[in-house]
Amino acid sequence: MSNLTLHTNNATAYNNTSVSIIANPNVQTMSSKEIAIVTGKDHSNILRDIRTMLDQLQDSNLNPNDYQVILASNNMTAEILLNKDLSMCLVSGYNVQLRMAIIKRWNELETQVLEMVKPSYMIEDPIERAKKWIEEATAKQAVETKLVEATQAIEVMQPTVDAYELIAGKKGSMCFSDAYKYLGGIKLKEMKQWMYDKKWINKDRYDRDSIGYYQNMNGYLVEKVTTHQPQIRITYKGLAAMARQMKIELNVEDFQ
């Protein structure tokens, strides 16, 4: 079990070596280091996934207070702190075992924070003790309800998630004119515009399409050398990621 660290709004120090949940009167956050440990993924990959997610959420009224970037002494990113919503959004793209591990960890951390508050049996005044007991029972029930709801949501999502993962694991790539046909009836120009908006592709100085930095790192797109000019192609991993972000279900039978 990783150690728990509490900070308040006026705290200035931060221990970069600790794996922690930070709590203040308004928000709790989980560290990218914690997520890496719980899921068993490399911290560098977690940071990459977080940056991609935040970039894709910029058009969704993302609140800057929902996350915090912690810099190391060399001004490089040491870790990123996410609130619960962003933590759950991040791991929604992982497999069911990793998502459940994060859900259980959040449940543990929320329970620990509740236990740090003065328990009801330590309050001498009987009326205040009764009020505190009710608050504790209500808070505990809320945590348990969230865990049940999250578990049920995973069970509902599992067939779709399995399809994404199966398709993402296929080798090879396809041209844009083939890829858009799998995406629920959207037009080719709509798919390309989405890719521009999400910075999957950009225009180079010759007004040709080029692969965006993060998508190149993620393996969503590849460049194929042709007679006239390089052609950008979508990998199966990229198609699955695109469908997931567009909330479009893919038919596994189409890829068999």
Q: Residue 243: enclosing H or E segment and its boundaries?
A: helix 236-246
Domain boundary among 118, 135, 160: 118
Q: Do 28 and 113 fall within a single domain?
A: yes
- Residue 107 resides in a domain: yes
What percent of the chain shows pLDDT beyond 70? 68
More confident residue, 208 or 200: 200
- Residue 126 resides in a domain: no
Q: Which residues pair with 70 in a beta bridge?
A: 79
For the stretch 209-256, pLDDT in tens is 777 766 666 788 888 877 777 788 898 888 888 888 888 887 767 676
| Sole residue written with tokens 């998502």 | 99
Sign of CA dihedral 205, 207, 209, 214: positive
- Residue 177 resides in a domain: yes
Domain boundary among 92, 118, 144: 118
- Residue 157 resides in a domain: no
What is the value of pTM for the model shown? 0.42
Determine the Cα–Cα distance for residues 140 and 134; give it in Å rounded to an integer: 10
What distance, in Å, lies between the first and last C-alpha atoms of the chain?
42
- Residue 38 resides in a domain: yes
123 burial type by CB count under 10 A (0-12 exposed, 13-18 middle, 19+ buried): middle
Whether 181 has a pLDDT exceeding 80, the answer reads: yes
> Which candidate, 40, 35, 115, places its Cα nearest to that of 83?
35
Domain boundary among 94, 118, 142: 118
Determine the Cα–Cα distance for residues 86 and 126; give it in Å rounded to an integer: 40
Determine the Cα–Cα distance for residues 143 and 129; give it in Å rounded to an integer: 21
For the stretch 14-53, pLDDT in tens is 333 333 334 444 567 889 998 888 888 899 989 988 888 8
Q: Do 35 and 106 fall within a single domain?
A: yes
59 — pLDDT class (breaks 50, 70, 90)? low
Number of domains in the chain: 2
Residue ranges making up the domain that contains 90: 21-118
Three-state DSSP state, 159: helix
